[in-house]
Structure 1
C-alpha cells in the first residue's frame, strides 16, 4: 500500500470528496478509499466514521466499510451489524445511498429488510440505489420480500428507478414467477426506452414467447441493437433467426452467436456432441463425475467436473472448437487437462 497510512489515505479521500464538483464521480476519492481498504485496519476507522455527526464522514465511512468488506471477507458480518444499526437512525439521503451500496456487498441476509425499508424512501436517488443494491443479497424466493420490493420499484414514478429495478429483477435476480413476468410485461410498454429494453431482454431470458416480436423490434432499430439484445436473442429457442439478425455484420461475434443459437440443426448437433462428450468422459475418467448444465437464464452449455479437481468447468462450444468438432477428442483433452488424482485440499506438513 505504498508509504501512506490508512488514516492518511482516508483523510485525503475525505478532502477529495468534499471538493468534488460531482458527488457521484469524485475522481480521487474512490481510488484513495480503495487503497486504504486494502489494509484490514481500515475497519475500525470506517466504524468510527459512520458514527460521526458529519454526513460527509458517514458517507465515506459506509464506502470504506464496503471496500474493506470486498477485500476482506472475514469482516463482512461485523460490517453488516454496524450498517443495520446505522440504517435505523440515518436520515441523510447521500449517506443512505452509500449505506445501500455498502450493505449489499456484505452479502448478508440482514441487508434485505434494510433495503426493503429504503425502497419506500421519498428520495428517488435513494430508491435508485436500492434498486441497484438487491443484486448480491437477493433471496432467490419468487415470493420473497426483496422480489416484492423490486416489483414495486419497477412501477416507480422515476424512470431511472424503474430501469434499475427492471434490470435487477429481470436479469440479476434469476428467479421466475407469474407475478415477475407480469411486472416485466408491464414494463415492455414503458415510455422510458432503457426500461422497456431491459424488460424485453428479461422476458427473453425466461424463454417467454411474448418477447419474440418485441426483440424483433429492437433488432430493427436503424441505429443498431445493443449487444445485450443479441445475447437475449440467443436464449429464445426460436426455430430460425429473427429476420433482422442476418442483416447485421456477420463477422461480429454477438451476431454470429445469436444466429447460431437460433439454428435448430446446430442446437441439436451441439446437444448430441454434449451427450457424446459426457458419455465418453464417463468411460475414460469416471472419477471426474462429468455433467452438462446450462445457466437458468442463459444459452451456453457448461461441462462441469467434480469440485475436488479444482476446475471451474469448460464451455462446451469452446471445448469442441479446440477439439476440431470431435467430442471424442474433446473428452481426451479434458482427461489430459485434469490430474488422475485430485490435489488434497488440506495437505498435511511436507515430508522432510
Structure 2
C-alpha cells in the first residue's frame, strides 16, 4: 500500500466522521473478538489515502472523552505498524502524554500494544518502558514482548526493566522478558547471568527453557549439569536442544544421540535443532600441522 494522493473515497471519509453505529461496532469487542476487531481497524486504515488523514482521525479519537474511543486511536496505528514509519512520532507523542496513574486500562493496553507492534524501530523503546509497572499483566506483557529487535546491547534502563519483569507474577510476562533479555548477548554481566540461572527452575510457560538458551549463548558453565538432566528426558522441550546447540559441549553428545535414535525429531516443530546440536557438540578435529 502506498499513498500517492487522496482518492474520492478518502476525501469523503475525511469530511464525514464515522457514524454512531460504525463507531459503536469498533468499540464493542473483547478477547474473543480480538481478531475481528483488528481486521476491522485494518480495513478502516486502508480506506484512507494519505498519512495525514489517518493521523487526523487518530488525534481526534485521542481527544475524545470516552476512553473506549481514545483506545481506538492507538488501535488504528497498530494494525500496519510494521509497514510504515511515519506514524511512529505521533504514536509516541500520544503514548508519552498519557498520565498512567489516571488513564483507563483499555487506553493503556491499546497504547502499549501499538508501541509493542513496532518491533523494528528503537524509537519506541523508552515510551514502551513507561508501561512496565502497569497493574494489568497484559500491559506488562506488551512491554516484555515488544522490545525492539536489533537493539543490542540494551541500555541500562531497559535491562533493569527486563530483570524486574523476569520476576513478574505472570508466567507469560516472565517468559517473554527472559527471551528478550536473553537474545541481547552483548548484555552479559554476572547479575544478568544470575537472574537467568534463577529462572532455570521456573515452572511457568517456557521461561526455564528461555533461561537455558540465554545462559548457553553466554557459555555459562553452570548450565551443563542442568542440560544433562533435561536432555535425559525423552520428552525434553526444543528450547533445551537449542541451548545444547548454543553451548556446544561434547559432553552432551551421548544424550543428543540417544534423542536422535529414539525419534525425538518425529513430532517436533523445529526438528532441525537436534541436528544442529549434534554438529555443534561434535569434537573438533585438530588441524594437521
Cα distance 1:141–1:135, how it changes in 2: closer, same or farther (>3 A)? Answer: closer
Q: Cα distance 1:198–1:208, how it changes in 2: closer, same or farther (>3 A)?
A: same
When residues 106 and 210 of structure 1 are mapped into structure 2, their CA distance, relative to the original with a 3 A threshold, is closer
Question: Among residues 109, 119, 143, which one is paired with 2:132 in the alignment?
Answer: 119
What does 1:89-238 correspond to in 2, within 5 Å? Answer: 91-104=103-116, 105=118, 111-136=124-149, 138=151, 140-141=153-154, 144-171=156-183, 175-192=187-204, 194-226=206-238, 228-238=239-249
Q: Which residue of 2 aligns with 1:253?
A: 272
- What's the counterpart of residue 28 of structure 2? 18
Aligned to 2:40: 32
Structure-1-length-normalised TM-score: 0.63
1:132: Cα distance to partner?
Answer: 1.8
Displacement of 1:224 in angstroms is 3.9
Work out the CA distance in 1 between the residues paired with 2:224 and 2:85.
42
Deviation at 1:207, TM superposition (A): 1.9
8 Å Cα contact 1:16-1:26 kept in structure 2: no
Answer yes or no: is the 8 Å Cα contact 1:240–1:264 preserved in 2. Answer: no
Is this contact kept in 2: 1:112–1:138, CA < 8 A? no
Structure 1: unaligned runs, 5 residues or longer: 273-352
Partner of 1:72: 84
Please report how far the alpha carbon of residue 183 of structure 1 lies from its aligned counterpart in structure 2 after TM superposition: 1.0
Q: Post-superposition, which runs of at least 4 consecutive aligned residues in structure 1 deviate over 4 A?
A: 3-8, 11-14, 87-90, 106-110, 136-139
* TM-score where L is the length of structure 2: 0.75
Q: Distance in 2 between matches of 1:4 and 1:28?
A: 23
By how many angstroms is 1:108 displaced? 5.9
Q: Say if 2:119 and 2:148, in contact at 8 Å, map to a contact too.
A: no
Displacement of 1:50: 2.2
Judged with a 3 Å threshold, the aligned counterparts in structure 2 of structure 1 residues 221 and 262 are, in CA distance, closer, same or farther, namely same
Q: Structure 1 residues 174 and 101 mapped into 2: Cα distance closer, same or farther (>3 Å)?
A: farther
- Partners in 2 of 1:172 and 1:19 — Cα distance? 36
* Cα distance change on mapping 1:92 and 1:174 into 2, 3 Å: farther
Q: Whose Rg is larger?
A: 1
Change in CA separation of 1:242 and 1:98 when aligned onto 2, cut-off 3 Å: farther
Q: Which has the higher contact order (CA 8 A, sep 6+)?
A: 2
User: Is the contact between residue 234 and residue 257 of structure 1 (CA under 8 Å) also seen in structure 2?
Assistant: yes
* Cα pair distance change 1:116/1:173, threshold 3 Å: farther
Q: Partners of 2:23 and 2:280 in 1: how far apart?
A: 48
Change in 2 beyond 3 A, CA 1:201/1:139? closer
Deviation at 1:12, TM superposition (A): 5.6
Quick one: distance in 2 between partners of 1:167 and 1:235? 15
Structure-2 separation of matches of 1:95 and 1:138: 27
| 1:193-240 C-alpha deviation (Å, 9 max, x unpaired) | 5222221121112222222222233333343422x3322221112135
Aligned-residue RMSD, C-alpha: 3.5
Asked if 2 retains the 8 angstrom alpha-carbon contact of 1:87 and 1:99, the reply is: no
State the distance in 2 between where 1:218 and 1:177 align. Answer: 25
